[in-house]
C-alpha cells in the first residue's frame, strides 16, 4: 500500500505537461502504481479540459492543418535522451515501472533482482548509485542501492530531492517508506536513511542540487558530490 504521495502542485503540473523530463518520469512511475494519484491526475486533466473549452478561439492560418498533416508522414527519430531508445523495448522487465523501462534496456526481462545487472558505482558495496540518461542541466536522476540493513551517512540537501522507492524499504527519523512511496527532502531535512534488514532498497532519486553530508566522515565526501 502506498502511503506517501506527490503534492497536489506536482500532480497538477504533471497533468498539464509542465514538469521537467526527469521529474515528470518519476511522477509517472508513481502514478502507474497509485490509484489515489491516478484519480487526482484525471481530475486535474478534466479541470484543464473545462478551462480550454472556456477560452475564446483564435483564428489561425488556413495552411496550418495541411502542414500538420504533412508532418505525420515524416519518420520519427528512434533515439532520444542521450541515445536511450524512444520506444518501449520488447520483453521489458515487468518489475520496472513502464515510464522508466526504456532507459534500462540492459536489464534482463524476467529477473526479479533486475537491479543486479546495472553497472553500479560508489564508494562502497553498501551504498551505490547508477546515473540515469534522463539527467539534464536542471535535474540529476539516479538510482540508489542501499544494501539490506545499511544506511546512508547523515546528510541534508542543498536543494530539493524527490525519491521514489522502487524496491525494498528504508526508514529515517521521519517515517518508514516502502515500494511506491514518494518522498520529498529539502534544505530543512536532516536524515540518515537506513534500508530494512531483509532486502536491498532501490530508490529512484531526482535532485536539483547535490547532497550535503553533515557527519564527520560524511563531510569529507562533500567535495566529491555532484
pLDDT of residue 169: 96
- Indicate if 114 and 215 belong to the same structural domain: yes
Helix axes 21-32, 8-15, angle to 10 degrees: 100
With respect to residue 90, please indicate whether it lies within any of the assigned structural domains.
no
Instruction: Count the domains in the chain.
Output: 2
- Indicate if 212 and 114 belong to the same structural domain: yes
pLDDT of residue 27: 96
- Indicate if 113 and 216 belong to the same structural domain: yes
With respect to residue 3, please indicate whether it lies within any of the assigned structural domains.
no
pLDDT of residue 145: 95
With respect to residue 63, please indicate whether it lies within any of the assigned structural domains.
no
Q: In terms of C-beta distances under 8 Å and separation of at least 24 residues, what long-range contacts does 114-121 make, across chains too? A: 115/143, 115/145, 115/167, 115/200, 115/202, 118/143, 120/145
pLDDT of residue 83: 40
With respect to residue 64, please indicate whether it lies within any of the assigned structural domains.
no
Give 82 or 7, the one with higher predicted confidence: 7
- Indicate if 187 and 119 belong to the same structural domain: yes
pLDDT of residue 212: 84
Q: What is the CATH number of the domain that holds 206?
A: 2.60.120.10
With respect to residue 99, please indicate whether it lies within any of the assigned structural domains.
no
Q: What is the pLDDT of residues 192-222, one digit of tens each?
A: 899 999 999 999 999 998 888 886 655 555 5
pLDDT of residue 178: 96
Backbone angles phi, psi at 39, to 5 degrees: -65, -35
pLDDT-derived band at 46, boundaries 50, 70, 90: confident
- pLDDT of residue 81 exceeding 50, the answer is no
- Indicate if 140 and 210 belong to the same structural domain: yes
- Indicate if 216 and 112 belong to the same structural domain: yes
With respect to residue 62, please indicate whether it lies within any of the assigned structural domains.
no
- Indicate if 131 and 203 belong to the same structural domain: yes
Q: What is the pLDDT of residues 85-136, one digit of tens each?
A: 444 454 678 888 999 988 887 787 777 788 888 899 987 889 999 999 998 8
pLDDT of residue 216: 63
What is the domain extent for residue 180?
A: 108-224
Question: pTM of the prediction?
Answer: 0.78
Amino acid at each position: 500500500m502506498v502511503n506517501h504521495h506527490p503534492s497536489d502542485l506536482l500532480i497538477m503540473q504533471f497533468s498539464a505537461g509542465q514538469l521537467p523530463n526527469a521529474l515528470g518520469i518519476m511522477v509517472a512511475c508513481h502514478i502507474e502504481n497509485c490509484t489515489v494519484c491516478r484519480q487526482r491526475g484525471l481530475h486535474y486533466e478534466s479541470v484543464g479540459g473545462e478551462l480550454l473549452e472556456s477560452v475564446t478561439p483564435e483564428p489561425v492560418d488556413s495552411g496550418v492543418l495541411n502542414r500538420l498533416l504533412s508532418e505525420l508522414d515524416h519518420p520519427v527519430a528512434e533515439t532520444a535522451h542521450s541515445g536511450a531508445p524512444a520506444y518501449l523495448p520488447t520483453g521489458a522487465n515487468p518489475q520496472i515501472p513502464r515510464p522508466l523501462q526504456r532507459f534500462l534496456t540492459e536489464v534482463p526481462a524476467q529477473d526479479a533482482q533486475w537491479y543486479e545487472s546495472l553497472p553500479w558505482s560508489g564508494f562502497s558495496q553498501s551504498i551505490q548509485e547508477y546515473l540515469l540518461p534522463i539527467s539534464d542541466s536542471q535535474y540529476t536522476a539516479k538510482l540508489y542501492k542501499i544494501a539490506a540493513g545499511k544506511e546512508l551517512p547523515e546528510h541534508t540537501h542543498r536543494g530539493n530531492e524527490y525519491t521514489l522507492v522502487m524496491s525494498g524499504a528504508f526508514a529515517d527519523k521521519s517515517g518508514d517508506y516502502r515500494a511506491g512511496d514518494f518522498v520529498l527532502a529539502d534544505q530543512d531535512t536532516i536524515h540518515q536513511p537506513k534500508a530494512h534488514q531483509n532486502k536491498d532498497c532501490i530508490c529512484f532519486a531526482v535532485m536539483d542540487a547535490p547532497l550535503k553530508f553533515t557527519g564527520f566522515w560524511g563531510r569529507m565526501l562533500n567535495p566529491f558530490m555532484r
